[in-house]
Homo-oligomer: A and B are copies of this chain.
């Protein structure tokens, strides 16, 4: 849901007298929408990580000059994407520099005995990945699930 749609600015300025009824129709769909998307990474598959990183880049470029907020949430086996020895660490670094927020799930880290020292620097942490993904959607962020492993082989 668009952030802006939740903001209703109702002006009754200068209404010294409003004798006679008025009916104001507010249509939030005409209000500007903030571009916001959360990407969920739950697998340990470098091929898919690259697809997700491509999708995030395409999103950033695809909105033209409009501002866009992009967040990645890694949990379950997806946590390996954010380890210090991740095969995509240079791309993650580039994503961070471009303004993407990259979150590791602390629940998963705890279950896998991982500590921040094991992880890429400059990433962020959330207590539970699935909660973050729910909350972002409920705050109006779009949810993007990239394609499944094995799907990237064109046969035609």
Identify the A interface with B (CB < 8 A).
1-29, 31-37, 40, 42-45, 48, 51, 55, 58-59, 61-63, 76-78, 80, 83, 85-86, 107, 127-131, 133-135, 137-140, 142-156
Given contacts A10-B23, A137-B143, A142-B133, contact A151 B154 (CB under 8 A): no
Docked-complex contact B107 and A58, CB < 8 angstroms: yes
Contacts of A51 in B (CB 8 A): 76
A63 to B80, CA, bound (A): 24
A152 to B112, CA, bound (A): 13
Residue from B27, B129, B144 within 8 A of A7 (CB atoms): B27
Docked-complex contact A134 and B142, CB < 8 angstroms: yes
A156 to B43, CA, bound (A): 12
- Copies per assembly: 3
Docked-complex contact B62 and A107, CB < 8 angstroms: yes
